[in-house]
Amino acid sequence: MENEVTVTIRIGGESGEGTISGGDILALAAARWGYYVYTFRTFPAEILGGPCMFQVGISNKPVKSMGDYADVLICLNKEAYDRNIDDLHHGGVLIYDPSDFTPETGDCITYAIPFNEIARKEIQLFQTKNMVMLGAISGLFGPPLEAIVQVVESKLSKSRKANATLMEKNLLALEAAKKYVLEKLSKHDPYVLGPVEKADRVVLNGNQALVAGALAAQCRFFAGYPITPASDIMEGMAKELPAVGGTFLQAEDEMAALASVLGASYGGVRAMTATSGPGFSLMTELIGLSSMAELPAVIVDAQRAGPSTGMPTKMEQSDLSFALHAGHGDTPRMIVAPADVKDCYELIILAFNMAERYQIPVLFLTDQSLTARVESVDSDIFKPLPLQNRTEFDTHATNGTNGKTLVGAAATSNEYARYAYTASGISPISTPGTGAVAYVATGLEHNEQGHPDYEPEDHTAMMEKRFRKLDTATEELPQPQLYGDEDATIGLIGWGSTEGTIQEAVDRARARGYKAAALHLKILSPLPDRTIRDFIHSVQKVIVPECNYSGQLANLLGAKYGLQAIRVNKFGGIPFTAGEILRAIEEVS
């Protein structure tokens, strides 16, 4: 087996000067060159100005987390140095422009490269500064310049401003920087990204995979309102839906977005909306309606740091409690949370299947870091998956509902029990169209026929019927898999985008002799009761790492299973590193 080669490169700079786009190009080039990549970025909500950071883990083995420290740190200004130097690995590489600042002497390897001068004087176009940086990276570590040029070319040709001069300047910048490092610097660090076998992989972020999954799930209506970090889901659907016969609406607000989705769903069309915390708050009345009228809907909440407007471009897992309870009254809903880019594809399809099968709102809780996280994923993940349809009412089973005598068909509609009490809780639904039996979908409490009904027995029976669907689903839905030691003494329970980081911490703990295992929940409503109970009982201590203040999953597990979890919370807007979780494991052992 070949040795693992992993280089984690961080670029720190100012928003608007190409830091993030330069990082994206690097990640894509490395991935196309044959490496696995995993990116993390943080940037301000403002369009221009403010510190931003891009980090990419590049490895010949799958990358599970963003890495505890950077091996290579490129600082495009003094502030980037001040902010990031503590996250550079001991003995790592610091690259800077001596015209910006002089670093303190430390235990790192330093390369001084005049980015500004090369861009300004040699290329005479300051915007090429990020190309100068990429050329230097290529010269020092790899990947080869050709891989970078390919990506730059494909990015530029997509842009409306594509022009030969700019491309020419970019090429010059890349080459000048590479020449500079080869001629003027003597490499004395161990980081080399050599040739690697190419594999059949695709490189994309969470939101891109989510859009692909929604389209594969036959989602054919989308309504949304712009909000960071969910807007590119909306933009993706706006672009792609017409090509597959679907329709799109940019709604005037999030209430209208979800209401339109319910309208489309009533018409039998698979429909979705995507938002973030503030928009999700506005949608709650419609979540109640979706649940009460039993209309399928998929609602993506790309979580960001709250409360209120919070930190729109920062990561947090703090909408779980809200997602569990959003809406007045007792409102059954289902919740799915993806852990990685692959999940954004596979689990959004599961979310659609759940919405259709159980005629219920399904909330899909991704988060800011995952929306933008670029990963290399094996291409064969992206294949058609089985789709489940809603159970349609069979008109042929009803007298007088022949499609030709339409008034006659409607005449029997009072007999059609749209909300029939069934053992599973799932009642056959009718969709408007020729020969269909009409009914009224309503947010009022209703009887089996859908007529308003406030009788105590009926409300009781209808509440039980709606909640019965969760029990049915608990039996039918996939169970989470244990990761780590079967005989673990320390257990970790997590949810959402932290899975890879937790698994890496478990790996490292086991390598140090600890007995550890992790259970990662991807369906948070209904919870896989049996698996969770068994896991809790099988270990001595349970750690629940979450990127939120209050320990929302720990609270849920405490309320449901009486679990006194060891809470590990991080809520600065940045995800966990594996090292932080490893420390928690070591501390409780």
Partner 1 sequence: MTQMVINPTPKDYKSDVKPTWCPGCGDFGVLNATYRGLAGLKLAPDQTVVVSGIGCSSRFPHFMKTFGFHSVHGRALPVAQGLKLARPDLTVVAVGGDGDFFSIGAGHLIHAALRNIDITVVVMDNEIYGLTKGQTSPTSPQGHVTKSTPYGLLASQFNPVATLLSLNVSFVARGYSAKPKELGALIEQGIMHKGFSFIHALSPCPTFFHTFDAWDASVTLIPADHNTSDRAQAVALAMETEKQYIGLFYKEDRPTMNDAAHQLAERARPFDIEQYIKRYT
- Listed ranges 82-90, 183-191, 351-359, 443-451: which one lies at the site for partner 1 (CB under 8 A): 443-451
Minimal distance, residue 413 CB to partner 1, in Å: 6
**Any alpha helices (H) in 92-163, and if so which ranges?**
115-117, 129-140, 145-158
- Listed ranges 62-70, 254-262, 315-323, 470-478: which one lies at the site for partner 1 (CB under 8 A): 254-262
Cβ atoms of 544 and 566 closer than 8 Å: yes
574 makes contact with partner 1 (CB under 8 A): no
Minimal distance, residue 425 CB to partner 1, in Å: 21
- Listed ranges 109-117, 145-153, 259-267, 534-542: which one lies at the site for partner 1 (CB under 8 A): 259-267
Minimal distance, residue 463 CB to partner 1, in Å: 19
282 makes contact with partner 1 (CB under 8 A): no
Give the strands of the sheet with 374-378, arranged side by side.
109-112, 88-96, 70-75, 6-14, 51-59, 36-42, 374-378, 201-205
Q: Is 34 exposed, middle or buried (0-12, 13-18, 19+ CB in 10 A)?
A: middle
414 makes contact with partner 1 (CB under 8 A): yes
Minimal distance, residue 50 CB to partner 1, in Å: 29
**Residue 301, phi-psi category: left (phi > 0), alpha (psi -120 to 50), beta (remainder):** beta
**Selected binder of partner 1 within 268, 361, 528, 545 (CB under 8 A):** 268
Handedness of CA 299, 303, 308, 314 (dihedral sign): negative
Minimal distance, residue 409 CB to partner 1, in Å: 6
Nearest to 522 by CA among 342, 289, 262: 342
249 makes contact with partner 1 (CB under 8 A): yes
Q: Please tell me the distance from the alpha carbon of residue 383 to that of residue 340, in angstroms, as a whole number.
A: 17
Q: Please tell me the distance from the alpha carbon of residue 364 to that of residue 494, in angstroms, as a whole number.
A: 16
Q: Please tell me the distance from the alpha carbon of residue 29 to that of residue 10, in angstroms, as a whole number.
A: 15
Minimal distance, residue 158 CB to partner 1, in Å: 11
Look up residue 48 and give its two tokens: 């221009």
Please name the residue that has the structure tokens 């995800």: 575
15 makes contact with partner 1 (CB under 8 A): no
The number of residues making up the chain comes to 589
261 makes contact with partner 1 (CB under 8 A): yes
386 makes contact with partner 1 (CB under 8 A): no
Question: Which whole-number Å values give the CA distances from 244 to 305, 408, 588, in the listed order?
Answer: 35, 36, 53
**Selected binder of partner 1 within 48, 243, 423, 511 (CB under 8 A):** 243
Minimal distance, residue 42 CB to partner 1, in Å: 23
- Listed ranges 118-126, 225-233, 429-437, 492-500: which one lies at the site for partner 1 (CB under 8 A): 429-437
173 makes contact with partner 1 (CB under 8 A): no
**Selected binder of partner 1 within 3, 165, 186, 434 (CB under 8 A):** 434
423 makes contact with partner 1 (CB under 8 A): no
387 makes contact with partner 1 (CB under 8 A): no
Kind and range of the H or E element at 184?
helix 164-184
379 makes contact with partner 1 (CB under 8 A): yes
- Listed ranges 76-84, 165-173, 408-416, 466-474: which one lies at the site for partner 1 (CB under 8 A): 408-416
Look up residue 121 and give its two tokens: 């004087």
Q: How many CB atoms lie within 10 A of CB 565?
A: 22
384 makes contact with partner 1 (CB under 8 A): yes
Nearest to 296 by CA among 325, 242, 333, 328: 333
Look up residue 328 and give its two tokens: 């007045």
Give the strands of the sheet with 482-484, arranged side by side.
482-484, 516-521, 490-495, 541-546, 566-569
By CB under 8 A, the residues from 447 to 476 that bind partner 1 are 451-452
**Selected binder of partner 1 within 269, 417, 482, 588 (CB under 8 A):** 269
158 makes contact with partner 1 (CB under 8 A): no
413 makes contact with partner 1 (CB under 8 A): yes
Kind and range of the H or E element at 13?
strand 6-14
By CB under 8 A, the residues from 341 to 370 that bind partner 1 are none
Q: Please tell me the distance from the alpha carbon of residue 40 to that of residue 373, in angstroms, as a whole number.
A: 6
Minimal distance, residue 260 CB to partner 1, in Å: 3
**Selected binder of partner 1 within 106, 190, 226, 242 (CB under 8 A):** 242
**Selected binder of partner 1 within 248, 421, 467, 571 (CB under 8 A):** 248
Look up residue 314 and give its two tokens: 């920062």
272 makes contact with partner 1 (CB under 8 A): no
329 makes contact with partner 1 (CB under 8 A): no
Q: Please tell me the distance from the alpha carbon of residue 67 to that of residue 40, in angstroms, as a whole number.
A: 10
- Listed ranges 37-45, 110-118, 357-365, 426-434: which one lies at the site for partner 1 (CB under 8 A): 426-434
**Selected binder of partner 1 within 266, 421, 467, 561 (CB under 8 A):** 266
- Listed ranges 35-43, 127-135, 210-218, 575-583: which one lies at the site for partner 1 (CB under 8 A): 210-218
202 makes contact with partner 1 (CB under 8 A): yes
432 makes contact with partner 1 (CB under 8 A): yes
Largest Cα separation within the chain, whole Å, is 89
